[in-house]
Amino acid sequence: MLVHIPNVLTAEQVAHCRRILEAAAWVDGRVTAGEQSGKAKNNLQVPENSPQASELGDIILQALGLNPMFTSAALPLRVFPPLFNRYDVGMTFHAHVDNAIRFVPGANMRIRTDVSSTLFLTDPEDYDGGELVIEDTYGTQRVKLPAGHMVLYPATSLHKVEPVTRGSRWSSFFWTQSMIKEDSRRRLLFEMDQSIMKIRADLPDSHPGVLGMTAAYHNLLRQWVEM
């Protein structure tokens, strides 16, 4: 399931992130890559233990906590602290699959990476190339979103970032361990939740159809959830 989540950050929040990142010390992006993906990766990254990454990560986590579409699509149990990367001209990330397990620095814990997310911090007209290409169940998806918008997709997906040919592409990326491990079940629950919200716009919450759909959603969630 690939989901486009608009306006995760406001224009003011994006501008603030950009100002902080402009003053950050960027390093080789391979510092967080696994052995195989490190050979495919050519970009820059803000060190994950830097004060800039911590400050901006908190802003993003707070925004995600207030975003009902993210909650509905990811059904998050744990979210990895957001990281920040940059692709200048000629930089790319060849096809790869994200590591299944990530160690959370400073938390003495690991998370299973069920869902990958990319939050764009550069508008599409400011750079050429740099598309995120995802092999989804419905075929190849090419993603290039406005600044502040985010794409969410299964971490099991083969994906890549096309070479940047003009400008610079900045983004935040992170992973979520979902309460629902299987993507097919997350998809079904997401579609049910979106349908319930549409029904509630036309019918009172006390309507038998609304009550029945809501009960089915929560009973499926109760049956499938892993805590």
4 marked as binding residue: no
Tell me which architecture the domain covering 3-178 has in CATH: Sandwich (2.60)
Ligand-binding annotation for 98, yes or no, is yes
Q: Which CATH number fits domain 183-224: 1.10.3470, 4.10.860, 1.20.272, 1.25.40?
A: 4.10.860
54, 135, 179, 188 from 69: Cα distances, Å: 24, 22, 15, 14
Rounded to an integer, what distance in angstroms lies between the CA atom of residue 27 and that of residue 159? 22
Q: Tell me if 110 is assigned to a ligand binding site.
A: no
Tokens of 219: 């009973």
Edge-first strand listing for the sheet containing 41-42? 41-42, 92-96, 159-161, 132-136, 139-143
Tell me the domain boundaries of the chain.
Answer: 3-178, 183-224
pLDDT tens per residue across all 227 residues of the chain: 999 999 999 999 999 999 999 999 999 987 766 555 667 889 999 999 899 999 999 999 999 999 999 999 999 999 999 999 999 999 999 999 999 999 998 888 999 999 999 999 999 999 999 999 999 877 899 999 999 999 999 999 999 999 999 999 999 999 999 999 999 999 999 999 999 999 999 999 999 999 999 999 999 999 999 98
The DSSP result for 126-179, as a single string, is GEEE--EEEEETTEEEEE---TT-EEEEETTS-EEEPPEEEE-EEEEEEEEEES
Is 18 labeled as ligand-binding?
Answer: no
In this predicted model, what pLDDT tens digit does every residue of 27-80 receive, in sequence order? Answer: 998 776 655 566 788 999 999 989 999 999 999 999 999 999 999 999 999 999
Q: At what angle do helices 183-202 and 208-224 cross, to 10 degrees?
A: 160
